[in-house]
A and B are shown apart, each in its own frame.
Chain A
Amino acid sequence: EDQVTQSPEALRLQEGESSSLNCSYTVSGLRGLFWYRQDPGKGPEFLFTLYSAGEEKEKERLKATLTKKESFLHITAPKPEDSATYLCAVRVNNNDMRFGAGTRLTVKP
């Protein structure tokens, strides 16, 4: 069965304290891994798509990487405005999208 697991469930950082969020997946045929940011009470906002192992994408303080079994979202020197829930999703062979439960990130000033 296709599964996506995100860890940790919640992460509290001090401003400037870099860290990483993990997304591990077991799918029959990966056709893309997606990262989204979701603020409370709002819809997810698209961040990155990764397609093959070794691929990396960057946007401001965020960098996403992909291996054959997992993806990491690295946050460098985070600011309070980076506080949000970060969702990972994978597209599988039959065009289904499977979402993880998310990591809730809090960055304290």
Chain B
Amino acid sequence: DGGITQSPKYLFRKEGQNVTLSCEQNLNHDAMYWYRQDPGQGLRLIYYSQIVNDFQKGDIAEGYSVSREKKESFPLTVTSAQKNPTAFYLCASRGQQETQYFGPGTRLLVL
């Protein structure tokens, strides 16, 4: 059963702490994306990767970092430099006809 998985579903971050959100896909897609969703706003692009070992900053990359060591995996680290990290984080991969398919999301909360 192909799809995108994200973990954990909920994540709590303490001040000054780095946390990592997991995203895995078994759709054999090359391109993967991380978005942030805040109430009343459209999804905003944090980082994207078109291919393994390559990634590009999106519109709101400050305070975040990513890696793409495997085709299936695109983890996102929220660093202590991100001062307002509370949001719903969505991972996506791009398939045929440029359609992006999304994972179930991770909600990040600050303690």
Q: Mark B74-110, 1 if CB is under 8 A from A, else 0.
A: 0000000000000010100000011111111101000
Q: Identify which of B40, B45, B97, B104 contacts A43 (C-beta below 8 A).
A: B104
Q: Mark B13-36, 1 if CB is under 8 A from A, else 0.
A: 000000000000000000001010
Docked Cα-Cα span, A95 to B42, in Å, equals: 17
Chain A residues bordering chain B, tally (CB within 8 A): 24
Residue numbers in A under 8 Å from B6 (CB-CB): 43
Q: Is the C-beta of A32 less than 8 angstroms from some C-beta in chain B?
A: yes
Which chain B positions have C-beta within 8 A of A42?
104-105
Please tell me if B53 contacts chain A, counting CB pairs below 8 Å.
no
How many interface residues does B have (CB within 8 Å)? 22
A82-109 interface (Cβ within 8 A of B): 87, 89, 91, 95-102
Per-residue interface assignment for chain A, residues 19 to 50, with 1 indicating a CB less than 8 Å from any chain B CB and 0 otherwise: 00000000000011010100001111110010
Asked if residues A43 and B42 are in contact (CB atoms below 8 Å), the reply is no
Interface check B43, CB cutoff 8 A: yes
| Contact, CB under 8 Å: B97 / A49 | yes
A97 to B90, CA, bound (A): 14
> A43 and B90 in contact (CB under 8 A), knowing A96-B45, A99-B43, A101-B40?
yes
A4 CB within 8 Å of chain B: yes
Docked Cα-Cα span, A43 to B88, in Å, equals 9
Bound complex: CA of A52 vs CA of B70, how far in Å?
35
Q: List 8 A-B contacts (CB under 8 A).
A: A31-B98, A41-B88, A43-B6, A43-B105, A46-B101, A49-B97, A87-B42, A99-B44
Query: What is A's interface to B at a CB cutoff of 8 Å?
Result: 4, 9, 31-32, 34, 36, 41-46, 49, 87, 89, 91, 95-102
